[in-house]
Chain A
Amino acid sequence: MSTQLEQETEVEEEPTESRESVAQRLSEKRRQQIQEDLDSAEKTIQLKVFRYDPEIEGKMEPRFDSFQVPFHKGMTVLDALIYARDKYDSSLTFRHSCRQAVCGSDALFVNGQQRLGCKTQLGDLEHPVRIEPLPHQDVVKDLVVDMEHFYDQMHAVEPYFDPDELPEGELEEQRQTPENREKVKLSTRCIWCGACMSSCNIAAGDNKYLGPAAINKAYRFAMDEREGTDRKKERLRIVEQEHGVWRCQTQFSCTEVCPKDIPLTEHIQALKRESIKNNLKFW
């Protein structure tokens, strides 16, 4: 009985101790592994990542953390961030999902330009690589920005296919000529990543500005011949408000940073011309 009691107290003491020593053992093991990775790689790259967390005392003031990652050919910025998070600091927070440039989650500000993390080759960048959250948006934590304003602007243009009338027969298709498809093709590629809006100085200054992504979406539907003239007029009315297309100053930054190579400025200009043409008729 006494031995049992003794054993029990021993068992109680052990967990706290061994938990700490387990942690120490693991972090040493991790450090060893990182060192092995770094040694065996052809070269190592230094990442400087923006850190901020309003809920943690040490991180209320934004700062930059350095991570040394092993480089292999074909490595992307996202790969490097995942390595840093998995091996160095699991609190490093950033959005990512598909890792093939279709979900739009990982738009970041890398070495002074808006880029998709999964689409940017580390090998193409100057070192050390600076990774920051998208500018002109509020930062929630580390590399995560508040995208609500972006989504509000997108929703404001009614970004869904909505034809005036449906064809006669029940199983009849809504036809679109190949030329019309060509016209809107590039504008359909938007992945809602937010890079364009974050690169636009007008979007930064004027909170009500719809932004290149939203106007491009409006273009995609307004120029789609299946929707009909009345619907097109309604769509144009939304974007020809004072904080719509007219705010664009053709800075071209949006076109430069779009990861899907959409000629955003061109589409915005096209809608300006459409609006003028429509309104001239009534004078």
Chain B
Amino acid sequence: MAKHYSSFERGNWRWFLQRITAIFLIGALAFHFVTLHFINHAAEISFAGSQARMSEIGYFSLMVTFLVAGAFHGVNGVYNGLVNAGLDGRQKQIVGGILIVATLLLIGQGLRVAVAMTTLF
């Protein structure tokens, strides 16, 4: 009976994922800030330094997950804010499409950057 309606219509999986990514992002963002401002100083960032960090598989995978989670959480938040303000109908579909494309581009470019910084691949 539940397969009756596509879960896409119901809007609950996006709400749920927003919370799941939120929990992950709390830790990831805090870690990122501490690593890059307190442990390493932002003023001393160099390609060599970044490369050293990103060549460690644990850190690399954390950063990639961080990128994907952050992209989803942020763009989903923007989408919800717009729907709350009354975005509806055809406009909503168009904006939704644009946002999905923007997210994919962001993640794509982010992955390119990550690969450029690592010696793993």
Residues of A within 8 A of B (CB): 201-202, 205-209, 233, 237, 240-242, 244, 246-247, 249, 272, 275-276, 278-279, 281-282
Contact = CB atoms under 8 A, between A and B. Distances in A.
A272 B11 CA distance: 11
Contacts of A237: 5
A209 B11 CA distance: 13
14 contacts: A206-B86, A207-B88, A233-B1, A241-B9, A241-B10, A241-B11, A242-B9, A246-B12, A247-B83, A247-B84, A275-B12, A276-B15, A279-B10, A279-B12
Contact of B86 (A207, A242, A281): A207
Contacts of A242: 9-11, 83
Interface residues of B, number: 18
Nearest to B8: A242
Contacts of B15: 246, 272, 276
A93 B3 CA distance: 51
B16 interface: yes
Interface of B: 1-3, 5, 7, 9-16, 83-86, 88
Contacts of A209: 84
Contacts of B7: 279
Contacts, number: 50
A249 B12 contact: no
Nearest to B83: A206
Nearest to A249: B84
Contacts of B1: 233
A249 B7 CA distance: 21
Contacts of A272: 12, 15
A208 to B, nearest CB: 7
Given A233-B1, A242-B10, A275-B10, 13 more contacts: A205-B86, A209-B84, A237-B5, A240-B12, A241-B11, A242-B11, A242-B83, A246-B11, A249-B84, A275-B12, A279-B10, A279-B13, A281-B2
Contacts of B16: 276
A282 B14 CA distance: 16
B88 A208 contact: yes
By CB atoms of chain B within 10 A, which of A233, A275, A281 has the most?
A275
B5 A276 contact: no
Nearest to A208: B88
A202 B15 CA distance: 16
Given A202-B84, A206-B86, A247-B84, A282 B12 contact: no
B59 to A, nearest CB: 31
A19 B30 CA distance: 82
Contacts of A275: 10, 12
A101 to B, nearest CB: 31
